[in-house]
């Protein structure tokens, strides 16, 4: 019997590719070209499965061009690149990679918070530029992290990981806002208190965004919300570009309406709003929150397991639209 055909849309670990090749006839992209939507659709034609990352958009148009497609396995926990209702309508299974990146991403959220509040990259640039000629009492004085108030917007698994780090590791007072409130047990484990969005914005010394992107969460943080924050506050976005209005944020940073921001995700990335590149009080990283070797391997393994699980054994591990299985 011939093997099912799949497309691996971006470069992956050679071991992941070798594993997939045991089960599938694989078209790969180890050259890691970023294809246009038309190229992606053309390459998906005749394939039963796709191994995707957050950069491949699977929508009704792409699906209409690829009637043989049965499953798309995203190597990411976020899946705003998938039009899940359109996939479900065409009986295409969608899977993601939850859990395996939770702690690593929470670590990075904290790294970005620390770097932002304590002005790590700004001071490093100063030193590298040869500007450090003497110590002074207020040089790069930043915001206190321990004992301050940590606000978390979006209290899923990663949000809870950040809350635990803040509460247990840094003695922070943790407040959060989420579509639904956590159970009392989870709130106790995170030492986190549920507040309104307004109280969160007004009270947090450090506000970390960890909510999923959707049409509803577009520009959750814009000029009005930034104006509600403390002028001494820091903002950290490890969620998705588009949740923050990057232009409004750059203006708020320039005018010191908030103290600083740490951003791992951007509207229209890999492009970055030009004004963000010119303000000093922002730490910018290229969407690397889950980037440790172990975690990226675990994500690739889980995406591969989902393809093998579904196309070979009929049992995907982490389906997003399990209704297509019935
Ligand atoms: C990925 C992410 O690295 O999992 C997610 O949702 O944002 C990152 O961990 C990225 O999306 C690549 O697929």
Per-residue model confidence as pLDDT tens for the chain (326 residues): 799 999 999 999 999 999 999 999 999 999 999 999 999 999 999 999 999 999 999 999 999 999 999 999 999 999 999 999 999 999 999 999 999 999 999 999 999 999 999 999 999 999 999 999 999 999 999 999 999 999 999 999 999 999 999 999 999 999 999 999 999 999 999 999 999 999 999 999 999 999 999 999 999 999 999 999 999 999 999 999 999 999 999 999 999 999 999 999 999 999 999 999 999 999 999 999 999 999 999 999 999 999 999 999 999 999 999 999 98
In this structure, are 43 and 116 located in the same domain?
Answer: no
In this structure, are 25 and 36 located in the same domain?
Answer: yes
Q: Please give the tally of structural domains in the chain.
A: 2
pLDDT of the residue at 61: 97
Helices 157-164 and 102-117, axial angle in degrees (round to 10): 50
In this structure, are 132 and 267 located in the same domain?
Answer: yes
In this structure, are 179 and 72 located in the same domain?
Answer: no
In this structure, are 125 and 150 located in the same domain?
Answer: yes
In this structure, are 274 and 125 located in the same domain?
Answer: yes
In this structure, are 119 and 209 located in the same domain?
Answer: yes
In this structure, are 122 and 267 located in the same domain?
Answer: yes
**Is the CB of 75 within 6 Å of ligand 1?**
yes
In this structure, are 96 and 106 located in the same domain?
Answer: no
Rounded Cα distance between 15 and 27, Å, is: 15
| Phi (first) and psi of residue 46, to 5 degrees | 85, 0
- What are the tokens at 89? 């309508």
CATH number at residue 33: 3.40.50.720
In this structure, are 71 and 119 located in the same domain?
Answer: no
In this structure, are 174 and 260 located in the same domain?
Answer: yes
Can you give the residue range of the structural domain that contains 207? 102-284
101, 158, 217, 239: residue to mutate for ligand 1 pocket, most atoms within 8 A of CB: 101
pLDDT in tens, 18-55: 999 999 999 999 999 999 999 999 999 999 999 999 99
Atom 9, ligand 1: residue with shortest CA distance: 290
């Amino acid at each position: 019997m011939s093997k099912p055909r799949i497309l691996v849309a971006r470069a992956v670990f050679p071991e992941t590719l070798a594993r997939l090749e045991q089960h599938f006839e694989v078209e790969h992209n180890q050259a890691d070209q970023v294809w246009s939507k038309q190229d992606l659709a053309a390459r998906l034609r005749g394939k039963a499965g796709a191994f995707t990352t957050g950069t491949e958009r699977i929508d009704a148009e792409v699906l209409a061009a690829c009637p043989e497609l049965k499953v798309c396995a995203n190597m990411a926990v976020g899946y705003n690149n998938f039009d899940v209702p359109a996939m479900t309508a065409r009986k295409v299974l969608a899977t993601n990679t939850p859990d395996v990146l939770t702690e690593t991403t929470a670590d990075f959220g904290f790294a970005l918070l620390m770097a932002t509040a304590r002005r790590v990259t700004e001071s490093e640039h100063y030193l590298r530029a040869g500007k450090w000629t003497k110590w002074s009492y207020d040089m790069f004085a930043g915001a206190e992290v321990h004992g301050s108030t940590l606000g978390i917007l979006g209290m899923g698994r990663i949000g809870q990981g950040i809350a635990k780090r803040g509460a247990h590791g840094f003695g922070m007072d943790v407040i959060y806002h989420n579509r639904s409130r956590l159970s009392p047990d989870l709130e106790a484990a995170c030492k986190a208190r549920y507040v309104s969005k307004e109280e969160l914005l007004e009270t947090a010394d450090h506000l970390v965004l960890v909510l999923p992107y959707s049409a509803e969460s577009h520009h959750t943080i814009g000029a009005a919300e930034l104006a509600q924050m403390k002028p001494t506050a820091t903002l950290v976005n490890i969620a998705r570009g588009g949740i923050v209005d990057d232009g409004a944020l750059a203006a708020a940073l320039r005018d010191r309406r908030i103290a600083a921001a740490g951003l791992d995700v951007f509207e229209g990335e890999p492009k970055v709003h030009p004004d963000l590149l010119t303000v000093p009080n922002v730490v910018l990283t290229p969407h690397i929150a889950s980037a440790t070797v172990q975690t990226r391997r675990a994500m690739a393994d889980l995406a591969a397991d989902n393809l093998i699980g579904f196309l070979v054994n009929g049992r995907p591990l982490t389906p997003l639209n399990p209704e297509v299985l019935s």
